[in-house]
Amino acid sequence: MKITFPHMGNAHIAINAMLEKLKLEVIPPPPISKKTFELGVKYCPEFACMPLKINLGNFIEALEMGADTILMAGGWGPCRFGLYAQVERDILNDLGFEYKMIILEAPDSRVSELFNQLKALGENVSVWEAYKAVRYAWYKIKIVENLEKRFAYIHPRAMDKNRAEDIYDKGLLEIQKAGDRSEVDKVGLRYLECLNRLVLTEEEPLKIGLVGEIYTVLEPMANCSISRCLGRLNVEVDNSIYISDWLNDHLLGGLVKKSHRKHLVRCANPYLNYFVGGHGLETVGSAVDYARKRFDGVIQVGPLTCMPEIVAQSVLGLVSKEEGIPCMTLYFDEHAGTAGIQTRLEAFTDMLRRKKTLTGWSC
């Protein structure tokens, strides 16, 4: 078995580690590129949302590299994510690829169901070995997220932003290469120290909360590297969701860490009090939460035609008015251009700085 999987932000670091611990030969897809987009756009329906197109491009590239098995997550609810695997399977079959697709579904009740699924996926592994594979992957993703969060703090304050980006990129590569927990620890600490040694400006940056659909929040190629663009504009970006949050809430039954979702649901309740699919409810709750934490602004991102985020967007205008926080929405598809996004970000951040100067608003 030569297995592959779709990209989403830095999730590939943990997924690759888990599959290797399951004694599988892993063929990760190449980093998302213009070619990946072109393949997805060419073979997907035009109205399909962007993550589906990118995922399909990932799979085509990996199958051409020799993969014969695809691992894909399942789902349910109004969001179309739960149908991705079926649509991708039909398209790949029509293209003549020979492969096996394994859909990893969220456990109905007990997290042990997940370990049983992974045991069946692995090569002669026990449930205990499947558990250890998940635990190791979880550990890697937590170290990655520690680096992500520290970079988000340092980048807008660093005098040499290129150096900060270089340290961060190298740190991710080294964490991916690390073969055990001890080495992962050492690498993570080393690159955190490298970031901490950078010379910082004394000016306090703006703080913006990034909310929206998880794929578009986490995958730089899906959002024109919005976090880096904002960092270069001296803006600290706080992601409303990380891959560990999704894994904890949807696959691990909230057992690994305290879930933040109930708090976000309470925050959203005056404005939206029912599940609308995807992360629509969390988008509204996070915007309210950021306002009450006195952030300077909120940016909502999502793929064009994303139904849950369209519902959330219709509510954010009222949230902005009632909670007193500026909100901007950006939708992305294969036609989105970095120059256009950069212009809108510059205008939004200029507005926030003017507001902060005139009102004395401070985080």
pLDDT in tens, 322-340: 999 999 999 999 888 899 9
Separation in Å, CA 132 to CA 8, 105, 125: 23, 19, 11
Residue 303 binned pLDDT confidence (cut-offs 50, 70, 90): very high
Whether the pLDDT of residue 253 is over 70: the answer is no
- Rounded CA-CA distance 190/183 in Å is 11
pTM: 0.93
In terms of Cα–Cα distance, which of 143, 77, 134, 101 is closest to 253?
134
Beta strand 297-303 pairing with 235-239? unpaired
H or E element at residue 358: helix 338-359
- Ordered by where they begin, the domains of the chain are 2-131 (3.40.50), 204-359 (3.40.50.11900)
Whether the pLDDT of residue 358 is over 70: the answer is yes
233 phi and psi angles, rounded to 5 deg: -90, 15
pLDDT at residue number 359: 78
H or E element at residue 177: helix 161-177
Output the 3-class SS for 30-44.
CCCCHHHHHHHHHHC
pLDDT in tens, 173-206: 999 999 899 999 999 999 999 999 999 999 999 9
More confident: 36 or 249: 36
Judged on CB neighbours under 10 Å (0-12, 13-18, 19+), 63 is: buried
Min mean pLDDT across 38-47, 49-58, 233-242, 258-267 is at 258-267
- Rounded CA-CA distance 7/36 in Å is 11
Reported as half-sphere exposure (CB side, CA atoms, 13 A), residue 155 has a value of 24
**214 and 312 Cβ atoms separated by less than 8 Å:** no
Reported as half-sphere exposure (CB side, CA atoms, 13 A), residue 352 has a value of 29
- Rounded CA-CA distance 298/308 in Å is 17
Q: What is the residue-averaged pLDDT of the chain?
A: 92
Reported as half-sphere exposure (CB side, CA atoms, 13 A), residue 66 has a value of 5
H or E element at residue 3: strand 2-4
209 phi and psi angles, rounded to 5 deg: -90, 130
